[in-house]
């Protein structure tokens, strides 16, 4: 019984990737891509929403790198057969557009 309670609590995870802006209430805040990849690999079945920033500080991979990693895992490795709802909240218009295009590419291949 106790294990079922924890499994149920883990469903519906919302992930916020940003190095500066705080996460909305109820969202898991991650501030870098390597940590996000680790979290995603462990919890992807329970993640329902993601909101990603592009620029994550000096000398760190941007949010776009997570999407290219995810796209590779889907297209080349066949690891994931679905994705959560993914939004981009970046103030960088070029980065945001590139990320949104990658999300659309991923969706076309699912």
Name all domains of the chain by residue range, CATH numbers in brackets: 2-108 (3.40.50.2300)
Res 9: pLDDT: 52
What is the DSSP pairing of strand 47-52 with strand 13-17?
parallel
Residue 10 has a pLDDT of 63
97: CB partners within 8 A, 6+ apart = none
CA distance 55 to 83: 22
Q: What span, in angstroms and rounded, lies between the C-alpha atoms of 84 and 50?
A: 7
pLDDT digits (tens, 9 = 90+) for 22-57: 999 999 999 999 999 999 999 999 999 999 999 999
| Mean per-residue pLDDT over the chain, rounded | 91
Whether pLDDT at 110 is above 80: yes
Tell me the two tokens of residue 11.
Answer: 């469903």
Task: Tell whether the model's pLDDT for residue 5 goes beyond 80.
Answer: no
Q: CB atoms < 10 A from the CB of 47, how many?
A: 21
pTM value is 0.88
């Amino acid at each position: 019984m106790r294990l079922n309670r924890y499994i149920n609590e883990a469903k519906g995870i919302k992930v916020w990737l940003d190095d500066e802006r705080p996460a909305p209430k109820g969202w898991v805040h991650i501030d870098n891509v390597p940590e996000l990849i680790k979290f995603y690999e462990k919890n992807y079945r329970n993640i329902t929403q993601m909101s990603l920033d592009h620029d994550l500080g000096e000398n760190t991979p941007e949010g776009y790198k997570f999407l290219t990693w995810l796209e590779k895992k889907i297209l080349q490795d066949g690891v994931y057969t679905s994705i959560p709802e993914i939004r981009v909240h970046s103030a960088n218009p070029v980065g945001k557009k590139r990320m949104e295009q990658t999300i659309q590419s991923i969706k076309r291949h699912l």
